Amino acid sequence: MAQDIWIGIAQNGTQAQGWRFDGARPVKDASGRTAQDVLAGLAETTATVIVQDGQGRQPVPAPVLTEAMPLTDLSQDRPRGLLPATARLQIAGSLSARPNWDGVICLPTQEATHWCQISADEVVSFQSALTPRLGQAMGAADVADADALADTMSRPERLSLHLRSATLADDRQAVAGHLLGAELAAMRAYWLGQRVIVIAQDTLYSGALGAQGVPVERVAPQDAMRAGLVALRGKFC
């Protein structure tokens, strides 16, 4: 059987991840600071699909996969928002195994957490919260204290007071719980009564949503990225 060798690379800021594929099957992976670093690690062929953030913007609502290359960021005016192309790629990868899926995709990144409403293979709208950046600045744990989450979710106006108490107690899990509780309260319209996919390595968001009775699935970011590259190449090649 003839081989179908190609390389797919996704670059987000100063981090690039890539795979050499035989058709849809990954056979080797590499990472680096740039797409060229990844190419050097994969070596044997030229890249056929490269997705980088910041190569244009497309307003929502928009198809999850672009109608033309390159895959661009998604933008929104009200509320103002920017969904990076690599996040869009991960959404496409998550949906590739779930035809006709409608619901909400929650995508935490180092910079922000994006909540994206999906319908008929389109990103209809999205909202983003700076919870990950705030958590990094305040030394939040990767695990949220359940009581702290519930306290701030029920009274988000007390977030600043709760955070003061948690930092004085050096309770990093409480800091994470209060920040996440405030975000869940603000995003209630996105997850209440919805099916949710969380694209994350850890269970911080999926665990919190599951505790609220939300039907939630978790997808590993690299799995979503890899499947997105395959889906994008399948559309244009």
In this structure, of 13-27, 113-127, 183-197, 208-222, the range with the lowest mean pLDDT score is: 13-27
Domain-wise residue ranges, the chain? 5-52, 53-237
Query: Please, how many CA atoms are within 13 Å of residue 89, restricted to the half-sphere of its CB?
Result: 30
Which contacts qualify for 129-136: CB closer than 8 Å, 24 or more apart? Answer: 129/183, 129/186, 129/187, 131/179, 131/180, 131/182, 131/183, 132/108, 134/179, 135/175, 135/176, 135/179, 136/110
Give the Cβ contact number of residue 55 at 10 Å.
13
Above 90 in pLDDT, residue 236? no
pLDDT 10s digits, 70-122: 999 999 998 999 999 999 999 999 999 999 999 999 999 999 999 999 999 99
Give the mean model confidence (pLDDT) for residues 129-147. Answer: 96
Residue 100 in tokens? 């006709």
What span, in angstroms and rounded, lies between the C-alpha atoms of 112 and 27? 31
**Quick one: pLDDT band at residue 235, thresholds 50, 70, 90?**
confident
Under CATH, domain 53-237 is a member of which superfamily? 2-keto-3-deoxy-galactonokinase, C-terminal domain (3.30.420.310)
What span, in angstroms and rounded, lies between the C-alpha atoms of 5 and 33? 23
